[in-house]
C-alpha cells in the first residue's frame, strides 16, 4: 500500500520540497449538463474557477468559489459541484505529489497530505485574468496533437502552482485592508499593466469609491502612485546601469519609449538623456549631515564621512556602497587629512555645509566645484529642497516629503491612540549632570510633528536646562526619553543614578516609562535623520505601557 514518506515536509507552501506530475486536465462549464458529479479521487485535484460562481462539495463541506478562486482536494476524498451559475467555467487539474523518503535508499515516494499553499480551503488569486489565461493554455496544450504537448504541460503546471502560491492572499475584510492590499500589490507589480478598474476589482470596491478612498488615505491617486514607482525605478536604473532608454522604459512598465520620455521630462523636469548625464557625476559629501540629505534623493555618493561610532547607521548600512570613506570623527579639527584623501578621488562635485573654515573652503574648491548649503538658520526641509533643486532632483524630493508627511500622520494617529494625551520630557545626561533638553530635531519631530504633550515648558522651543532628580519628580512627566552619553564617565554616573532614591521616586521611573534615544539620529539634522527619529519615537512610545 502506498504511504506518505515520513521525511516529507508538510509545512504550508513548501512547493520546492516536492515533485509534481500532472495526470489530466478537465474543463467543466455551467451549461446545464449537471456540472461535475461527486467522485472519489486517488490523486490531488486542483479546482480553478475562471468565470461565474461555483458551489463545490468537498466531502460534506460546501465551498463557494468565484472567478479567481482555487481549491485543492487531497487524495482519497470526494468532491463535485453542488451548483454552477450559467456563465461559470472551471478547470480541474488531477496530479500527484512526490517527496523524498527517509529510508536509506533516499528514493521518492507519493505524498498524500501535502499542504501546497500558505492557507488551506478556498484560496483567492489576485488578479484573476492571468490565472484564467494560464488555465486555458494548459487545457489546450493537454488536448493538442503535439507529441511534446503533455511534456510542455508539466512545465506549465509548475508555473500555475507558482502563480497561485505567489498571488494568493486572504480576501480583505474591510475597506482599510483592501486599500493596504491594493497598495502592496502596486508596489510588487507596478511594472505590469495596471488600471484603476483592475485594482478596484482586487479590492472588491467600485472603481470610483476605490479611487476616492485611495487618494484620501495616501494623498495621491492609485495611478499617480504607479507612475511614481515606475519613474523612481527608472531613475535607479539610469544611475546604476548602462541600459538603453528603450530597455529602461520596458523594464519599468512602459511599452512606448517616447511616451516614457515625455512622461519623464514632464514629471522630473529634464529629459532622460540629460538626467543620465547628470547622475554619472561622482559626488563627494564633505559634511556628515549631508549624507542624510542625499540618500532620500536616491543618490549614493562616491565619497562620504563614515565612522562605526559617529555615523554608525550609515557606516553599517552603506559602507560597502560608498567607495571612499573620509573621517567623520572630529572632521573640523582633522580636516587636512580629509582634504588630502579627497584630492585622490576623481570627484566631479563636492557638497558641504557653509560653516567650515575659509581654509577648508579654499582647499575644497581646488579639488572640484563645491555646492554649499546653509548650516545655521535653515530648516532641514528648505536645505533638502535647495540641494534637490541644485542636483535636478526636485521631483524626487517632493515625492519623498509627501511620503514623510504621510508617515508622520500615521505615527501621530498611532500615538494618539496609544498615549491618550500623556506627557513626555527629554532628559540628556553628561557626566553626572542631567538636563531637560530639546533641539531642532526633537522640537520638529516630537512636539510639532507628532504633537506630543511636553511635560516641561520654559516658553522657548529649544532649551538645555540643568535639572535634578527631585525636580524631575516634581515635573511628573508620564514618559521620560533619555539620552545617555556613551562614554565611561557618563555610563558610570548613570549606573549610580539608578540606585539613587530620588531617581527611583520619579513617577515615570516607578511606572517603567523610560525610553532611550540614541544620539544617532537625534543629533543629526537632515531629512533621513528626521524619518529615523519619527520611526524610533513611534516604536518606543507605542510599546511602553503602564506596569
Structure confidence by residue, pLDDT tens digits, 167-205: 876 666 678 778 888 888 898 889 988 899 888 877 878
Write down which residue in 278, 311, 328 finishes a domain: 278
Three-state DSSP class for residue 521: helix
Q: Same structural domain for residues 374 and 434?
A: no
Residues 286 and 273 in one domain: no
pLDDT of residue 119: 65
Q: Which residue has the higher pLDDT, 229 or 172?
A: 229
Q: What is the pLDDT of residues 503-524, one digit of tens each?
A: 999 999 999 999 999 888 998 9
Q: Would you say residue 427 has pLDDT above 90?
A: yes
Higher pLDDT, 145 or 106: 145
Is residue 193 located within the same domain as residue 245? yes
pLDDT at residue 532 tops 60? yes
Higher pLDDT, 217 or 78: 78
pLDDT at res. 8? 41
User: Do the bridges between strand 283-285 and strand 349-353 make them parallel or antiparallel, or are there none, so unpaired?
Assistant: parallel
Domain boundary among 361, 392, 423: 392
Q: What is the DSSP letter of 452?
A: P
pLDDT of residue 236: 81
| 1 part of a folded domain | no
| Residue 466, number of CB atoms within 10 A of its CB | 9
* Structural domain count of the chain: 4
pLDDT recorded at residue 479: 95
Domain-embedded: residue 6: no
pLDDT tens track for 399-425: 999 989 999 998 999 999 998 889 999
Residues 413 and 531 in one domain: yes
When mean pLDDT is compared across 29-43, 90-104, 112-126, 283-297, the lowest value belongs to 112-126
Domain co-membership, 22 together with 111: yes
Domain closes at, from 235, 260, 278: 278
For range 476-480, the mean pLDDT = 94
Position 4 in a domain: no
CB 240 within 8 A of CB 276: no
In whole angstroms, what is the distance from residue 46 CA to residue 65 CA?
Answer: 13
Q: Are residues 269 and 286 in the same domain?
A: no
Say whether pLDDT at 466 is over 50.
yes
- Residues 197, 338: one domain? no
Query: What was the pLDDT predicted at 105?
Result: 62
Instruction: Please report the pLDDT score of residue 397 as a whole number.
Output: 94
- What is the average pLDDT across 416-436? 94
Residue 122 in grid coordinates = 478556498
pLDDT of residue 171: 61
On whether residue 190 sits in a domain, the answer given is yes
Q: Residue 23 belongs to a domain with what CATH number?
A: 2.60.120.10
Average pLDDT value for residue range 269-278 = 80
* Residues 115 and 163 occupy one common structural domain: yes
Looking at the chain, the whole-number percentage of residues with pLDDT higher than 90 is: 50
pLDDT at 447 over 70: yes
| Residue 6 predicted with pLDDT over 60 | no
- What is the distance of C-alpha 97 from the center of its chain? 35
User: Does position 21 have pLDDT exceeding 90, yes or no?
Assistant: yes
Is 179 inside a domain boundary? yes
The pLDDT value recorded for residue 103 is 61
Domain range for 30: 15-169
Average pLDDT of 146-175? 85
Q: List phi, psi (to 5°) of 126.
A: -115, 135
In a domain, 131, yes or no: yes
If pLDDT is split at 50, 70 and 90, which confidence band does 12 have? Answer: very low
The DSSP element (H or E) to which 351 belongs, if any, is strand 349-353
Instruction: Report the residue count for the chain.
Output: 547
Residue 215 grid coordinates: 487618494
- In this structure, is residue 290 part of a structural domain? yes
Tell whether pTM > 0.75: no
Whether residues 426 and 488 share a domain: the answer is yes
pLDDT at 9 over 50: no
Q: Give the domain CATH number at 326.
A: 3.40.50.1980
- Which secondary-structure segment (H or E) carries 39? strand 39-41
Cβ partners under 8 Å of residue 321, min gap 6 = 300
Rounded average pLDDT over 443-464: 95
Answer yes or no: do 438 and 501 share one domain: yes
pLDDT value at 278 more than 60: yes
Across residues 364-379, what is the average pLDDT?
A: 90
- CATH code for the domain in which residue 197 is found: 1.10.10.60
Residue 4's pLDDT is what?
42
Q: What's the whole-number average pLDDT of the chain?
A: 87
Encode pLDDT of 91-142 as tens digits: 999 999 998 776 656 678 888 888 887 666 788 887 777 889 999 999 999 9
Query: Would you place residue 5 in the very low, low, confident or very high pLDDT band (cuts 50, 70, 90)?
Result: very low
For residues 410 and 427, state if they share a domain. Answer: yes
Residue 298 counted as domain residue? yes
Report yes or no: 442 and 426 within 8 Å, Cβ to Cβ. Answer: yes
Residues 387 and 476 in one domain: no
Average pLDDT over residues 319-342: 82
Amino acid at each position: 500500500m502506498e504511504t506518505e514518506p515520513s521525511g516529507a515536509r508538510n509545512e504550508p507552501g513548501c512547493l520546492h520540497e516536492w515533485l509534481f506530475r500532472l495526470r489530466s486536465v478537465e474543463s467543466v462549464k455551467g451549461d446545464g449538463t449537471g456540472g461535475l458529479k461527486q467522485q472519489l479521487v486517488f490523486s490531488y485535484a486542483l479546482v480553478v474557477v475562471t468565470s461565474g460562481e461555483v458551489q463545490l462539495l468537498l466531502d460534506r463541506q460546501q465551498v463557494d468559489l468565484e472567478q479567481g478562486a482555487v481549491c485543492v482536494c487531497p487524495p482519497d476524498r470526494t468532491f463535485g459541484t453542488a451548483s454552477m451559475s450559467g456563465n461559470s467555467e472551471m478547470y480541474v487539474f488531477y496530479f500527484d505529489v512526490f517527496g523524498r523518503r527517509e529510508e536509506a535508499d533516499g528514493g521518492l515516494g507519493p505524498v498524500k497530505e501535502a499542504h501546497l499553499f500558505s492557507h488551506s480551503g478556498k484560496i483567492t488569486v489576485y488578479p484573476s485574468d492571468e490565472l484564467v489565461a494560464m488555465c486555458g493554455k494548459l487545457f489546450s496544450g493537454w488536448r493538442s496533437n503535439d507529441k511534446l504537448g503533455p511534456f510542455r504541460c508539466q512545465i506549465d503546471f509548475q508555473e500555475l502552482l507558482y502563480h497561485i502560491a505567489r498571488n494568493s492572499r486572504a480576501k480583505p475584510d474591510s475597506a482599510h485592508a483592501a486599500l493596504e492590499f491594493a497598495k502592496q500589490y502596486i508596489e510588487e507589480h507596478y511594472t505590469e499593466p495596471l488600471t484603476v478598474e483592475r485594482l478596484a476589482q482586487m479590492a472588491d470596491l467600485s472603481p470610483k469609491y476605490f479611487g476616492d478612498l485611495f487618494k484620501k488615505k495616501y494623498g495621491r491617486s492609485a495611478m499617480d502612485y504607479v507612475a511614481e514607482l515606475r519613474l523612481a525605478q527608472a531613475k535607479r536604473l539610469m544611475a546604476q546601469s548602462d541600459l538603453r532608454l528603450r530597455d529602461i522604459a520596458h523594464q519599468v512598465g512602459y511599452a512606448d519609449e517616447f511616451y516614457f520620455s515625455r512622461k519623464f521630462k514632464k514629471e522630473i523636469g529634464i529629459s532622460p538623456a540629460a538626467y543620465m548625464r547628470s547622475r554619472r557625476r561622482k559626488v563627494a559629501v564633505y559634511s556628515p549631515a549631508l549624507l542624510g540629505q542625499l540618500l532620500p534623493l536616491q543618490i549614493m555618493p562616491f565619497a562620504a564621512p563614515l565612522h562605526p561610532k559617529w555615523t554608525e547607521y550609515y557606516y553599517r548600512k552603506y559602507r560597502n556602497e560608498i567607495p571612499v570613506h573620509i573621517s567623520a570623527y572630529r572632521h573640523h579639527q582633522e580636516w587636512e587629512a580629509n582634504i588630502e584623501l579627497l584630492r585622490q578621488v576623481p570627484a566631479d562635485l563636492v557638497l558641504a555645509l557653509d560653516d567650515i573654515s575659509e581654509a577648508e573652503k579654499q582647499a575644497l574648491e581646488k579639488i572640484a566645484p563645491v555646492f554649499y548649503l546653509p548650516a545655521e538658520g535653515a530648516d532641514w526641509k528648505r536645505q533638502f529642497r535647495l540641494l534637490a533643486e541644485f542636483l535636478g532632483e526636485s521631483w524626487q524630493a517632493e515625492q519623498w516629503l509627501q511620503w514623510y508627511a504621510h508617515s508622520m500622520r500615521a505615527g501621530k494617529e498611532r500615538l494618539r491612540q496609544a498615549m491618550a494625551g500623556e506627557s513626555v520630557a527629554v532628559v540628556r545626561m553628561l557626566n553626572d549632570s542631567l538636563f531637560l533638553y530639546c533641539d531642532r530635531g526633537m522640537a520638529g519631530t516630537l512636539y510639532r510633528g507628532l504633537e506630543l504633550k511636553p511635560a516641561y515648558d520654559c516658553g522657548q522651543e529649544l532649551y538645555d536646562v540643568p535639572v535634578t532628580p527631585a525636580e524631575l519628580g516634581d515635573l511628573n512627566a508620564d514618559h521620560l526619553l533619555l539620552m545617555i552619553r556613551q562614554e565611561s564617565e557618563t555610563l558610570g554616573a548613570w549606573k549610580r543614578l539608578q540606585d539613587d532614591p530620588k531617581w527611583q521616586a520619579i513617577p515615570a521611573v516607578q511606572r517603567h516609562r523610560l525610553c532611550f534615544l540614541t544620539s544617532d539620529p537625534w543629533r543629526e539634522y537632515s531629512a533621513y535623520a528626521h524619518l529615523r527619529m519619527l520611526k524610533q519615537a513611534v516604536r518606543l512610545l507605542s510599546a511602553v505601557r503602564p506596569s
